[in-house]
Amino acid sequence: YSLIEAVSPWDKTVLQNGLGQLVEAGLLYQQGTLPLASYEFKHALIQDAAYQSLLKGRRQQYHRRIAQVLEGISSVSIPTRSELLAHHYSEAGLFQEAIAYWQIAGQRDLEQAANQEAIAHFTRGLELLKKLPENSERDRQELEMQLGLAPASMAIKGWAASEVEQACIRARDLSEKLGDGQSLLVALWCLWTNYFLRGQMDEALETSAAVFQMSEQANQQMLRVIACHAV
């Protein structure tokens, strides 16, 4: 109820009367008593019908307002509700905000080894990125999500999966474009592993040579050991 009240444009009396009418009509279930009550649609089809009855502009306004209210709740951490915020901002048409939260959700899932969820959230964010104009900020966001998508795909689909190759190639290209040597090294190492385990030895050797060249330029002993191992 507290969330509904925060989002609602009506005063308490009108809101509570309206909710009471919906409960009496059997459209909503109510658990608990006000102001600690919670509500649930009696059936998903009722929820869908109510949602579809709204004009697109009105739906977007509600999604934006819900997201703003959720952002303002300090008792729950942002990562915990990041996919909920991402969903509402996506439906509100505020793609920049949505992408940021899809990325947070994907990174959280990756750290918790919830790899299937991480893939879904990173993929959703990458889809929305296509709607934004190309610039360095957009490229940076995509790079971070591709570098997250690669290990998540490794865990679910296997290190030799084509999805891993695609993520690593894109991460490699973006790293070179942005001049990000650290990300480039990560992308190349994962790409080398992918090629090696697929038995594509020519591609694996070519990629390991690139890693070796980076180690020579960086003059870092540990990086050189990694590069020699790849070669």
Residue pLDDT, tens place only, 104-127 = 999 999 999 999 999 999 999 999
Distance, in Å, from the CA atom of 91 to the CA atom of 44, rounded to the nearest integer, reads 18
Residues 6+ apart with CB under 8 A from 172: 184, 187, 188, 191
Under 8 Å between Cβ of 194 and 164: yes
Residue pLDDT, tens place only, 160-219 = 999 999 999 999 999 999 999 999 999 999 999 999 999 999 999 999 999 999 888 887
Closest by CA to 182, choosing from 195, 171, 198, 167, is: 171
Using alpha carbons, list the distances in angstroms from residue 122 to 58, 132, 150, 212.
28, 16, 10, 30
